[in-house]
Amino acid sequence: MENPLIMLQNITLAVRAKNILEKAGIRGYVQKTPRTNNRANCGYSVYVPDNTDKAEEILKNKGFVILGRAGRVKL
């Protein structure tokens, strides 16, 4: 199962990541990281519906600290 959310520490990093991915031709959307296991998360994520693995690799190469990956919660 693919996990299309790339979790980051804060909204500033998430917006920067989204902009970098757009320049690389990868569409992404910033959203608050969903709660997991009844624990609130303070971070933000970039939802990348396509090429998530490539997007994560690009961000790591740019020096981003990826907190993890998660599935998207459907509302």
What CATH number should be reported for the domain holding residue 24? 3.30.70
Average pLDDT, stretch 53-75?
88
Residue 63: domain span: 5-70
How sure is the predictor about 35, in pLDDT bands with cuts at 50, 70 and 90? confident
Whether 25 has a pLDDT exceeding 50, the answer reads yes
Q: Does any domain span residue 75?
A: no
| CA–CA gap between residue 66 and residue 38 (Å, rounded) | 21
More confident of the two residues 40 and 35: 35
Q: Does any domain span residue 49?
A: yes
More confident of the two residues 42 and 15: 15
Q: Is 37 exposed, middle or buried (0-12, 13-18, 19+ CB in 10 A)?
A: exposed
Whether 1 has a pLDDT exceeding 90, the answer reads no
Identify the pLDDT of residue 27: 96
Q: What is the mean pLDDT of the chain?
A: 88
pTM above 0.75, yes or no: yes
| CA–CA gap between residue 50 and residue 11 (Å, rounded) | 21
Cα dihedral value 63, 60, 40, 51, nearest 10:
140
Q: Is 46 exposed, middle or buried (0-12, 13-18, 19+ CB in 10 A)?
A: buried
Number of compact structural domains in the chain? 1
